[in-house]
Amino acid sequence: MVLYKLEDFEPSYQESFDGHDIKGLGVYTQGTDEKVGTVSDVLVDEEGHFRYLVVDLGFWIFGKKVLLPIGRARIDYNIDRVYTIGLTREQAEDLPEFDERQTLDYDYEERVRGVYRQPTDYNLPVEAATPLDPLAGLDPLGTPVAPLGTTPTYARDSYTYENEPALYGLNEQDHQTLRLYEERLIASKRRQKTGEVTIGKRVETDTARVAVPVERERVVIERVTPADAGTAVSGREADFREGEVARIEIHEETPEIRKEAFLREEVRVRKVVDQDTVETQETVRREELDVNSGNLPVEER
């Protein structure tokens, strides 16, 4: 059976006790109110059940720490005290010293239990009592019980803390608790797909117009009257020739159109997250305490 320190098992254990911290509470003997020491730690089992209070016996035995089974303690948060049930100074002296570096095995716990055990604690059914003991009896259901006034024996492999409620059970008279529950809304988020955006390209055609200045050549024939018109010329000068031709080349410009591709723009696709607050409501239940005391005085704290 593995034991853990309360804080190692549940770091936020104080929330379960309404902010109270059992560590540091004074330990007193029940009835005499003699201070024994203080609680230095709590040991719990694998399921988180309290099994031992680690008590520093500074007021009885300086520098000695011992284990106090939870069934031998009564915790009173109203006055911040822990009362030991039946613990004597002689028992405290006989208890093995608790050392955090020491392994808490079955043998060590048996040494602790052996000091606290009282024969009168075992007049109830005990699971591991020696059933073949001729002095052992049976309860009305046929379960073997340890003989009154004797201490039962236990098997190492089958021992459980439930075998000894006198040591590990919570005394109903001293530990009555009525738990009131309430429901609370726990907000969480679930990521879900709401849609999909597809981004692609398509080719569109359009008619583009461009103005191109061009040049065209044309022939202009001008007839003019020379200044010496009407003047007689000699026969040599008057050279009449038939079929004489003047040739002039005519040119014109025509537009030539070609296409080139240019980068027009870039399109960048990315996602952004918008923050928003969504309010929702639900019906929750809560338990309230109804006290029916008749005419008896009842104080609520």
Identify the pLDDT of residue 11.
Answer: 83
Q: How many CB atoms sit inside 10 A of residue 133's CB? A: 14
Identify the pLDDT of residue 278.
Answer: 85
DSSP classification of residue 170 = P
DSSP classification of residue 129 = S
Q: What are the pLDDT tens digits along the chain (301 aa)?
A: 789 888 888 888 777 666 678 889 999 998 888 999 999 999 998 888 899 999 999 999 999 999 999 999 988 888 889 999 889 999 999 999 999 888 889 999 999 999 998 654 544 444 444 333 434 444 443 444 455 455 566 788 888 888 888 898 875 554 444 456 778 888 888 888 889 989 889 999 989 898 989 999 999 999 998 888 888 877 777 777 777 888 899 999 998 888 899 998 998 988 898 888 888 888 988 888 787 777 777 777 6
DSSP classification of residue 167 = H
Identify the pLDDT of residue 110.
Answer: 92
Identify the pLDDT of residue 128.
Answer: 41
Identify the pLDDT of residue 179.
Answer: 55
DSSP classification of residue 16 = G
Backbone angles phi, psi at 175, to 5 degrees: -130, 40
Identify the pLDDT of residue 26.
Answer: 94
The C-alpha atoms of residue 53 and residue 71 are separated, in whole angstroms, by 10
Q: How many CA atoms lie within 13 A of 275 on its CB side?
A: 0
